[in-house]
A and B are shown apart, each in its own frame.
Chain A
């Protein structure tokens, strides 16, 4: 099966500019996550969707970050305006969304490496 697709792979922007990332999940995966991973740290959850509803966005900086999942499939994450500290890899992951191991086995996309100058 095809994996999680993300684009772009790399992005360089200046602070105060805006940027958007796109994620296409594995077919049939109901749960979609966006993570921020800073070098040397573990992935940090930004937002979790179940189908097209938000399950958890408690760590999303809502003054500058937004995300949506249209029709429960593709998702976009936007940053506006970007700050220097937003430089990180943004990972999209998906899982089946059912109980048990299928829920907790997450499949990650290749990520988008964002550099804010």
Chain B
């Protein structure tokens, strides 16, 4: 089986940097994905890491350490529109999400 753990809530201010961690236990590893979901909306794909290291896509970066079964999503220059839930996933198993609140 597979399980993913992530913090339930994170709060930060506009312009700041926030890191959302994810640890996983899997019977087989296929890479770590991240999704964003706004209230009432559908999850949207943000990033995928198959190999160790940092992947950067604009203001968002994602990191993976396979030896530590750990990854994180880094959001820089936070904007109010970044307030949403963020999910890490291994294949089709999702964590329960981290609710990010960005304050002015």
Scan B24-49; emit 1 where CB is below 8 A from any A CB, else 0. Answer: 00000011010100000111110010
Whether A42 contacts B92 by the Cβ 8 Å rule is no
Whether A33 contacts B92 by the Cβ 8 Å rule is yes
**B94 interfacial contact with A, CB 8 Å:** yes
Whether A104 contacts B97 by the Cβ 8 Å rule is no
For B93, give its contact among A45, A101, A107 (CB under 8 Å): A45
**B96 interfacial contact with A, CB 8 Å:** yes
Nearest CB of chain B from residue A84's CB, rounded to whole Å: 21
Residue among B33, B91, B92 with the most chain A CB within 10 A? Answer: B92
Interface residues of chain A, those whose CB is within 8 Å of chain B, are 33, 35, 40-45, 48, 56, 91, 93, 100-101, 104-111
Chain B residues whose CB sits within 8 angstroms of the CB of A41 once the complex forms: 96-97
Q: How many A-B residue pairs have CB under 8 A?
A: 49
Given A42-B94, A42-B97, A91 contacting B33 (CB threshold 8 A): no
Tally of contact residues, B, Cβ under 8 A? 20
CA distance A40 to B96 in the complex (A): 7
CA distance A93 to B35 in the complex (A): 13
Q: For chain A, what secondary structure do more than half of its interface residues adopt (helix, strand, loop), or is it mixed? A: mixed
For B33, give its contact among A45, A48, A104 (CB under 8 Å): A104
Whether A42 contacts B87 by the Cβ 8 Å rule is yes
Whether A104 contacts B95 by the Cβ 8 Å rule is no
Residue among A42, A93, A100 with the most chain B CB within 10 A? Answer: A42
Whether A105 contacts B43 by the Cβ 8 Å rule is no
Chain A residues whose CB sits within 8 angstroms of the CB of B89 once the complex forms: 42
For B91, give its contact among A42, A104, A107, A110 (CB under 8 Å): A104
Chain B residues whose CB sits within 8 angstroms of the CB of A101 once the complex forms: 31, 48, 50
For A108, give its contact among B30, B42, B96 (CB under 8 Å): B42
Nearest CB of chain B from residue A116's CB, rounded to whole Å: 19
Chain A residues whose CB sits within 8 angstroms of the CB of B48 once the complex forms: 101, 104-105
Whether B43 contacts A91 by the Cβ 8 Å rule is yes
Chain A residues whose CB sits within 8 angstroms of the CB of B97 once the complex forms: 40-42
